[in-house]
Structures are given as structure tokens and as C-alpha cells.
């Protein structure tokens, strides 16, 4: 069955799922889910969502939408996201989810780059969407989905193409190392096969057909909730439980109330739950397994002992979510093991010259489907960036940018990220994007952005700054922080700022980040390091007068 999944379209798989599982629950929302304004737990069956999908598909079709079109979606973790995605995909329209934390200039970039025909949003996000579109040279109309209004016709006619497995289903933006996020084009066959792969994982991680209830507190604009668990549920007749976001205090109440049997996590989730006091709810759940990545080795066994279910560490990325997982007993708990190569995903570990390294030696992980069909099951490419697509696939292998090592038993172990990416609370932040903005601040002459270890969020953003004049103090740091915080999603702003007289450079004036701090030195302990982490909030920027403390 799995081998045929990437030969299906989302519309075909969805119709089959509704027919097979009509009365079974498809999506659920815990009580108090603020994004969906859900006062009580809400649960919708395959048949109920199917009727809404069919109705909206016809509305869009009559308005002129179809293959060749994209529609952007600023819909948060709400039921509307599921309905409109499935409706649009079924008629050949690609969906472009928007991160609700994006600032107006980030939305403007997405609109210009993706060129959507329409932006879907809700009343609470209308102003945010409108400000972003106002700053973009591409200005699609905005539809408020709660009002159930007729969408305006697209500016360009749809193509006459038939919807096939290779038709684009989603355009997901993922941070790279060159500044602005790159748009990953995901096909119908990709998304369906990802779900089938997840549903049929061996050991603890696979889904039980028609039985599992998957609690996912991660955002729907990410591949994890928006593709992996969503299509895992659809391919297996299971239910996706969608929280508005992760709440440590509400986690166990949500999990118990919604009768979750599978939970998705990140490393920060494990850390936060371990800090919570014991409660009866934390042992009154039905969870049989957690699926995720990034659990700290020293917390892995302790978490399982305390809460009574295994955490299965997996690996995947937007460009190729062929999940690998340490899901067969005995697992390697307390290590960073995440699985082995398997039919459908070949793996190499190589040095900087793409030469294989011996087992036990760290190197970059390269992946492909097989020698005959290396790109099967992978993304279709980066939008408007064929050069980067081919660079990533050089030599017929996708270069993941992750440093791993393969043990003698063929188990792969994660080491670090090779790319200049900061991983904060599950969000990928491109250092180059933050650096580019810092250099537009009137007081900044040079800037280098690095990752600092963070006890709660895995990594935090450090900005090393050379000023045009002066030595810098906390007021200057607050000015720079506010400048970034107003223009970037809140999590991208520097959590630490350090002023220095000069940054080390090469003969071509490229900053040598690895020589800024001496080996074995924790930069957080250095004099002059200014901690602004407490100011990183989803709301407005910090008071420039410094009424907040870091």
C-alpha cells in the first residue's frame, strides 16, 4: 500500500477516507483552544469535515480557482485551516500557510515571492494580514473565512491541467542560510506518501488504524502538524487533536480530556513538562507513545519513568520527511539515536568533500529514496531558486545540513546542525536574516548572529555587534532589540546582545564566527553580555526606556 501512496492525489485519498471512516472523529480541539475560540472540547467527524470541504471546494471552483493558483492562509491552529486546505487541494490549488508570528514585512515578502491569488484569514488577524499585503508589490484580496463570503475571482485564470500526484499542494517556507526563507514546494504525492510512511512506521511509532488520537500542539504552518500528523491521520482513519499551541500548564488536562493516545513533542516540551509539579492527570492519561525530536539524553529515561510512556526520537525535514525513528525495542534511550537507513531512504555520512566517513565519525547526512529514483518522496524544489535546489541535490543525494554519525550497528546519531541555523523552541532561524536587518540599524557597523545554548529553548539568538560610534550599553541594546522585534517574528529577535570593538574577518572581509569566542568559553558568562530574553514576547516591542528587565 505504501508504495502506491505517492501515486495518489490528496482529493482522492480524502474522499476514500471520508467514505471509509465517515462517523469516526477526524479533528478535535481541547476546551479553551484560544485560536479557535473553543469553550468546550470540539470534535468533528470525517463526514462533517467532508461536507464542509465539498461545499468550499465548489465555492472556489465556481469562483474560478484551480490548478496554477496559490492561496495564502493565515488561519492559526483552527478547524478552518483543515477545511480550506483540503478543499483547495482537491481542486488543484496550492496552499501557502502564513506563520501568525510574522511581522508585516515578512508577510509582504511571502506575498511577493509566492504570488497568491487570495489570502484567507480570520477577523482577529485581518489587520495583520492587511498591513503585510499593503507593504507588498503583490496585493491579493483578503477573505475572512468566518463570514462565509464569496471569494473574489482570481486575477489570472486557472490552467486546464488535471490534478495529479505531482501537482503542488503546499508551499512551506523554511529558513535557510541566505536571509529570507525559502519556499519548499510540496506535491500531492509527497504529502500523501509522508502520511502513509508515518502511519506504517514499524514498532512503537506506527498508527493503529481507526484507533489512535494524535495530540499535536505544534503549528499548522509547519510540516509536522500540517502534513505529517494530518496525513498520517487521514491515511489511517485516526483523529488529529490540534491544540492552539503548546501550554505546559494545560498539557495534561488537554491530553486527558481529548483521550490522546499519541503525542507529538519537541525537546522544549519535555523540559517544560519535567519542570511542572506532579498531578493526578499526568498519570491518568491514555498515551501509549510520544513522537518527536530533541529530547535531552539526560531527561529521556527520567521522563519515561515519570509519565509512563516511551518517547520515540525521529528525524525528518520539510524537504524530505521520510521519518526515521528509533521505534523498535530495545531503543537507545539516553542517546541522540534516531533510526537507521531503510528501504525508501538511503543514507550516507560524508565529509566536506562528499566522501564517506568511517562509522563513528561525524559528518553531514545525505539522503535519497534510491539510486534509481533518488528524488522520489522528496519536495519538488525551492520556488524560484533552481540553483539552490540543484545545489542541495548535488551528486544525486540531498544534503541535509545535519551532522550525524553512524554507529557500527548502523544506528544514526544526531550531533549538530551544519548549516548556520539557530533552533529555538522548534523554530528555525536563519542567522543571515537577522544579520541583514541588524545592518540596517543606524548605529550598527557590523553584526554576527550565532546560536547560544539555552536551558529552556534549546538555543537562543546572540547578536555580536560593532557600533559605528561608542561602546554600547543596555539602552543601546534595547534600541537594537526593539528595532528587530518590530520587524521580525518575535522569536527571531536577539535574546542576547554583545558589543565588541571588532569582529574577526578573513581577507575577503567574511566574518569568522568560529573565532569570535575562544574555545571552551561560554559567551553567556562574559562581561558585557546583555540578556534580553525576557523581552521576547508575542506582543509589542519592549519599552525603549527599559521598564522591562532582562
List the grid coordinates of 38. 473553543
230-248 per-position pLDDT tens digit: 999 999 999 999 999 898 9
pLDDT above 70 as % of the chain: 94
* CA distance from start to end of the chain: 54
pLDDT recorded at residue 517: 93
CB 45 within 8 A of CB 212: no
Asked if 182 contacts 171 with a C-beta cutoff of 8 angstroms, the reply is: no
In angstroms, rounded to a whole number, what is the distance separating the alpha carbons of residues 314 and 296? Answer: 13
Q: Where are the beta strands (DSSP E) in 395-478?
A: 398-406, 412-417, 421-424, 427-430, 444-454, 458-467
pLDDT band, very low/low/confident/very high, at 432 (cuts 50, 70, 90): confident
- Alpha carbon distance 222, 136 (integer Å): 23
Task: Report the distance separating Cα 420 and Cα 437, nearest Å.
Answer: 16
Burial track 167-200 (b if 16+ CB lie within 10 A, e otherwise): bbbbbbbbbbeebbbbbbbbbbbbbbbbbbbbbb
Residues in a beta bridge with 424: 427, 458
C-alpha cell at 57: 471546494
The answer to whether 243 and 268 are in contact (CB under 8 A) is: no
Query: Can you give 315-378 as a three-state secondary structure string?
Result: EEECCEEEEEECCCCCCCCCCCEEECCECCEEEEEECCCCCECCCCCCEEEEEECCCCCCCCCC
Return the pLDDT at 3.
Answer: 43
Q: Model confidence over 393-422: pLDDT tens digits?
A: 999 999 999 989 999 999 999 887 777 778
CA dist 171 and 221 (Å) reads 10
Q: What angle do CA 232, 233, 235 make, to 5 degrees?
A: 65
Are 162 and 362 within 8 A, CB to CB? no
E strand or H helix at 486: helix 474-487
The per-residue pLDDT for range 36-68, each reduced to its tens digit, is 556 788 999 999 999 999 999 999 999 999 999
The reported pLDDT for the residue numbered 1 is 40
Selection from 226, 258, 209, 190 nearest residue 20 by Cα: 209
Nearest to 262 by CA among 345, 201, 316: 201
Q: Confidence band (pLDDT; 50, 70, 90) for 35?
A: low
CB count in 10 Å sphere of residue 61: 16
- Which residue from 489, 538, 537 is spatially nearest to 99, judged by alpha carbons? 489
* Average pLDDT score over residue span 288-304: 92
SS3 state at 148: coil
**pLDDT tens for each residue of 139-150:** 999 999 988 789
Domains and their CATH numbers in the chain: 334-419 (2.30.38.10), 421-535 (3.30.300.30)
Amino acid at each position: 500500500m505504501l508504495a502506491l501512496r505517492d501515486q495518489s492525489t490528496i482529493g482522492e485519498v480524502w474522499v476514500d477516507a471520508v467514505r471509509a471512516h465517515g462517523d469516526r472523529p477526524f479533528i478535535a480541539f481541547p476546551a479553551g483552544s484560544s485560536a479557535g475560540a473553543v469553550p468546550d472540547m470540539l470534535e468533528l467527524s470525517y463526514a462533517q469535515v467532508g461536507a464542509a470541504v465539498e461545499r468550499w471546494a465548489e465555492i472556489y471552483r465556481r469562483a474560478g480557482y484551480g490548478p496554477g493558483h496559490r492561496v495564502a492562509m493565515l488561519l492559526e491552529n483552527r478547524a478552518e485551516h483543515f477545511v480550506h486546505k483540503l478543499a483547495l487541494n482537491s481542486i488543484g490549488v496550492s496552499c501557502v500557510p502564513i506563520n501568525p508570528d510574522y511581522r508585516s514585512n515578512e508577510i509582504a515578502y511571502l506575498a511577493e515571492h509566492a504570488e497568491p491569488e487570495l489570502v484567507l484569514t480570520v477577523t482577529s488577524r485581518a489587520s495583520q494580514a492587511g498591513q503585510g499585503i499593503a507593504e507588498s508589490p503583490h496585493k491579493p484580496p483578503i477573505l475572512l473565512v468566518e463570514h462565509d463570503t464569496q471569494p473574489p475571482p482570481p486575477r489570472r485564470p486557472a490552467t486546464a491541467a488535471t490534478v495529479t500526484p505531482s501537482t503542488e499542494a503546499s508551499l512551506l517556507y523554511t529558513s535557510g542560510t541566505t536571509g529570507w526563507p525559502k519556499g519548499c514546494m510540496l506535491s500531492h504525492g509527497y504529502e500523501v506518501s509522508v502520511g502513509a510512511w508515518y502511519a506504517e512506521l514499524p514498532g512503537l511509532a506506527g498508527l493503529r488504524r481507526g484507533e489512535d488520537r494524535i495530540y499535536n500542539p505544534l503549528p499548522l504552518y509547519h510540516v509536522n502538524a500540517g502534513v505529517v500528523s494530518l496525513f498520517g491521520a487521514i491515511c489511517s482513519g485516526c483523529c488529529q487533536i490540534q491544540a492552539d499551541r503548546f501550554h505546559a500548564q494545560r498539557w495534561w488536562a488537554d491530553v486527558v480530556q481529548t483521550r490522546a493516545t499519541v503525542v507529538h513533542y519537541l525537546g522544549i516540551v519535555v523540559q517544560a513538562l519535567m519542570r511542572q509539579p506532579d498531578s493526578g492527570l499526568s498519570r491518568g492519561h491514555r498515551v501509549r507513545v510520544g513522537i518527536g525530536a530533541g529530547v535531552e539524553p539526560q531527561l529521556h529515561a527520567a521522563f519515561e519513568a515519570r509519565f509512563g510512556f516511551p518517547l520515540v526520537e525521529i528525524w525528518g525535514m520539510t524537504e524530505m520527511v521520510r521519518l526515521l525513528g528509533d521505534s523498535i525495542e530495545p531503543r537507545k534511550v539516553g542517546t541522540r539515536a534516531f533510526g537507521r537507513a531503510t528501504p525508501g531512504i538511503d543514507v550516507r555520512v560524508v565529509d566536506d568533500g562528499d566522501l564517506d566517513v568511517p562509522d563513528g565519525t561525524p559528518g553531514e547526512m545525505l539522503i535519497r529514496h534510491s539510486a534509481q529514483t533518488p528524488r522520489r518522496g522528496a519536495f519538488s524544489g525551492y520556488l524560484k531558486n533552481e540553483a539552490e535546489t540543484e545545489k542541495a541535490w548535488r551528486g544525486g543525494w540531498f544534503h541535509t545540513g545535519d551532522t550525524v554519525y553512524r554507529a557500527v550497528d548502523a544506528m544514526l546519531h544526531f550531533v549538530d546542525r551544519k548549516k548556520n541555523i539557530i533552533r529555538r523552541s522548534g523554530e528555525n532561524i536563519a542567522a543571515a536574516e537577522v544579520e541583514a536587518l541588524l545592518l540596517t540599524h543606524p548605529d550598527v557597523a557590523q553584526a554576527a548572529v550565532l546560536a547560544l545554548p539555552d536551558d529552556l529553548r534549546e538555543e537562543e539568538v546572540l547578536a555580536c555587534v560593532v557600533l559605528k560610534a561608542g561602546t554600547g550599553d543596555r539602552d543601546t541594546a534595547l534600541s537594537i532589540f526593539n528595532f528587530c522585534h518590530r520587524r521580525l517574528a518575535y522569536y527571531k529577535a536577539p535574546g542576547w546582545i554583545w558589543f565588541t570593538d571588532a569582529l574577526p574577518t578573513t581577507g575577503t572581509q567574511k566574518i569568522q564566527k568560529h573565532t569570535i569566542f575562544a574555545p571552551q568559553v561560554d559567551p553567556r558568562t562574559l562581561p558585557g553580555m546583555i540578556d534580553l530574553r525576557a523581552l521576547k514576547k508575542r506582543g509589542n516591542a519592549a519599552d525603549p526606556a527599559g521598564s522591562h528587565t532582562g
